[in-house]
Each structure stands twice: as structure tokens, then as C-alpha cells.
């Protein structure tokens, strides 16, 4: 059982790590946004699709580490959508996922979650 007196220290360490990784997290969401936009216009390259799949995979892991389980679920869905041949019909859903991820990250960033 964990000593409850160390919980504030653990939370502070997690907050420091969050701030350290936040630029990468936000960059990965931007990749998802760019890929979903390109998919909606029929201009999604293999390179951008691969980058989006990798970004979603990394987001799924890191968001769970910081307690954003909904973010992990959303990122996994995006990862599945970008694997193989991404269907242009899924572009609106992917845009929505990216928006939800951005909102979750903003809530955590400003301590509202």
C-alpha cells in the first residue's frame, strides 16, 4: 500500500512530466488534425498517414500515463482508422477525435480535469 503522505509529491512529479511532454503531445495532435484534413480533401499521403498512425499510437500510451483514459481510447480509435488504407468517409470522425483530444489535453494542461 502506498503511503498517502507522498501523494502530493507524486502529483507534483506528474505535473512536471506533463509540462515537459506537453509540446510533443500537442504536436502529435496537430499531426492527427493535418492528416484528417488531408484525408477529407483526398490528399492524404502515405507518409502523413503513417505519421498520424504513429502519433496516435504514442498518444494512446502517454495519455493513459497521465490518467486521461478517454484520450487513450480516442487515440487508439484514430490509430486503427489510420492503419492500412484510411477511408475518406472517416475524416469527419477523425476530425472529431482530434478535437476531443485537444480539449482533453487543454483540460489537463490548465488543471481542470
pLDDT digits (tens, 9 = 90+) for 29-82: 999 999 999 999 999 999 999 999 999 999 999 999 898 999 999 999 999 999
For the record, the C-alpha cell of 34 comes out as 493535418
Cα angle 62, 63, 67; round to 5:
120
Q: Is the pLDDT of residue 3 over 80?
A: no
CA 106, CA 111: separation in Å to the nearest integer?
A: 8
Q: Is the pLDDT of residue 112 over 50?
A: no
CA 91, CA 86: separation in Å to the nearest integer?
A: 9
CATH of 4-109, one of 3.30.410, 1.20.120, 1.10.357, 1.10.287: 1.20.120
pLDDT digits (tens, 9 = 90+) for 91-104: 999 999 999 999 99
Q: Where are the domains of the chain?
A: 4-109
Amino acid at each position: 500500500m502506498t503511503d498517502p503522505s507522498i501523494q502530493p509529491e507524486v502529483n507534483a512529479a506528474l505535473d512536471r512530466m506533463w509540462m515537459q511532454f506537453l509540446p510533443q503531445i500537442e504536436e502529435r495532435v496537430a499531426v492527427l488534425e493535418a492528416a484528417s484534413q488531408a484525408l477529407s480533401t483526398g490528399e492524404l499521403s502515405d507518409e502523413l498517414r503513417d505519421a498520424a498512425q504513429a502519433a496516435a499510437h504514442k498518444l494512446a500510451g502517454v495519455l493513459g500515463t497521465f490518467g486521461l483514459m478517454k484520450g487513450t481510447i480516442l487515440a487508439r480509435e484514430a490509430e486503427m482508422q489510420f492503419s492500412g488504407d484510411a477511408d475518406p468517409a472517416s475524416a469527419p470522425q477523425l476530425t472529431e477525435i482530434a478535437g476531443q483530444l485537444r480539449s482533453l489535453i487543454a483540460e489537463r494542461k490548465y488543471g481542470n480535469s
